[in-house]
Amino acid sequence: MLSQIIIPARLASTRLPRKLLLAETGKPLIQHTYEAASRAKKPHGVIVAADCEEIAAVVRQFGGQVELTSPLCASGTDRVAEVARRTPGVDLFVNVQGDEPEISAAAIDLAVELLERN
């Protein structure tokens, strides 16, 4: 089965606006999350589902794959679904939250493995 990670990214976070672009460590938060998710071995790749060009430009700048989503998406799940509909041939989509820079690649691989078996 082919799997793909999609990271929904919203600029106007409710609790901390623009948090995905904060770069207190020298890299934006979205880049840390993207790099952590990219360490998973099972998924075919990582796509950021961005709600605006500003986030998309940052992702492109560090070499990440990004797709813009409709401003009408009400949630990250809606952004993931929109990109999933435009991604043919993928059997499983893994939603990794953009503010999870310490996500374990092993945890992602385990989730994919469990979904593949069940």
Global confidence as pTM: 0.96
**Distance, CA of 86 to CA of 96 (rounded, Å):** 18
Per-residue pLDDT tens digits of the chain, which is 118 residues long: 999 999 999 998 888 989 999 999 999 999 999 999 999 999 999 999 999 999 999 999 999 999 999 989 999 999 999 999 999 999 999 999 999 999 999 999 999 999 999 8
